Amino acid sequence: MGKANKVVLAYSGGLDTSVIIPWLKENYGAEVIAVCVDLGQPEDYDAVEKKAIKSGASKAYIVDAKEEFVKDYVWPTVKAGAIYEGKYLLGTSFARPLIGKILVDIAEKEGADAIAHGATGKGNDQVRFELAIKALAPNMKIIAPWREWDLKSRTDCMEYAAKHDIPVVATKSHPYSMDQNVWHLSHEGGDLENPANAPKDDVYLVTHTPEQAPDEAGYVTVTFKDGVPVAVDGQEGTPLQLLEKLNEIGAHHGVGVVDIVENRLVGMKSRGVYENPGGSIIMYAHRELEYLCLDRATFHYKELIANKYAELVYDGMWFAPLMNALQAFVDETQKTVTGDVKLKLYKGNIISAGATSPYSLYSEDFVTFEEDDVYNQADAAGFINLFGLPLKINALMKEKAGK
């Protein structure tokens, strides 16, 4: 295992990371500094700080990064229209690079020679944390206890915690592995591990089920400027405020539930149920505005970029050179994605209810079925002849060759 003098630990206050603190001290002889990053997950952060110290940390940082998270990680992904495998809105994926960045910043500030995390050896998060650290601090030692220690289960961890006088609250009332931030809440494990099982109603902790949602539809208008929201129902706010408002509206109407069997980076499939009330509204509205504002060639090519962008984010490649290049392309396309999108929300459904933009490429004068003075329908004949010429030549060849 080697030695480390001072380790900065990504700390949540849960069982695993609380156990990691004494384990690092015992096995690496290191001073441990705990870092908990607030991305909007509901926690008693005073209690988290106290628990870290009680578990053996010499110091505990509580970092409020919610605004930075939405502005610098969520919004760029919204502009890209990046959705992994057509469903997953990347809530955990783009949170990890920011946490990694903060860990590096504090490690450099504290003079630490190692960073540790509590991600398991089966999941994607170990990759995301470590790629961020490698990109930002290439000489930093990384410690992943789940790949090293002899603790193999939650029961083992609880026994270890008891021996080290670490307070643990055990509960079976919500038997799912969860990750939450202001963008989403994920659920994995338990009965969800069988894809044949529908999620039970008590899975949902953020949004309503469709049955619980109001019987009357609601409406919301999202205003965008350069591809990102700047107002909700005419009221401006910070990125965080706007997302929180849309979370509230979306949850009330039961929108934003995603159930997906996704392909993990590490080679296996996993089943996740995600709650994204505000995120679902934003992504839907953003796409509606792009339908209005982007030309055909740009829109279609951007769809290809969005898939690659989502894959890079999912794989933890946030700080890769290709991400910077794709972001430059995305930002260029978003210069005209400005306007208002009105949506109807009803029992889990998001329905378009109109969109306007000063940069709209839609022209009623050209597209009307009524008589017009701007489009000569006879021009279509020449266009079709030229556009179809390769097909005609191919058919003539086959006719001549007798095929």
Q: Which residues are annotated as a binding site for L-aspartate?
A: 120, 124-125
DSSP code string of 156-171: HHHHHHHHTT------
**Residue 8 CA: distances (Å) to CA of 68, 93, 103, 107, 127:** 21, 21, 7, 6, 17
CA 193 distance to own-chain centroid: 21
Q: Rounded to an integer, what distance in angstroms lies between the CA atom of residue 154 and that of residue 51?
A: 19
Q: Which segments of 138-291 are extended strands (E)?
A: 141-143, 177-180, 185-188, 218-225, 228-232, 235-236, 257-263, 269-275
Beta carbons of 11 and 34 less than 8 angstroms apart:
yes
Active site (annotated) includes residue 154: no
17: which 2 tokens? 């990371």
Identity at 380, one-letter amino acid code: A
> If we measure between CA atoms, which residue out of 227, 279, 241 comes closest to residue 88?
279
Active site (annotated) includes residue 125: yes
Query: Cβ atoms within 10 A of the Cβ of 230, count?
Result: 15
Q: Rounded to an integer, what distance in angstroms lies between the CA atom of residue 103 and that of residue 9?
A: 8
Beta carbons of 94 and 313 less than 8 angstroms apart:
yes
Beta carbons of 22 and 47 less than 8 angstroms apart:
no
Q: What is the DSSP letter of 245?
A: H
Q: What is the DSSP letter of 198?
A: P
> If we measure between CA atoms, which residue out of 208, 161, 224 comes closest to residue 347?
208
> If we measure between CA atoms, which residue out of 56, 54, 18, 23 comes closest to residue 36?
18
Q: Name the active-site residue from 44, 154, 177, 201.
A: 177
Active site (annotated) includes residue 96: yes
Active site (annotated) includes residue 16: yes
CA 38 distance to own-chain centroid: 16
Annotated active-site positions, please?
16, 96, 125, 177
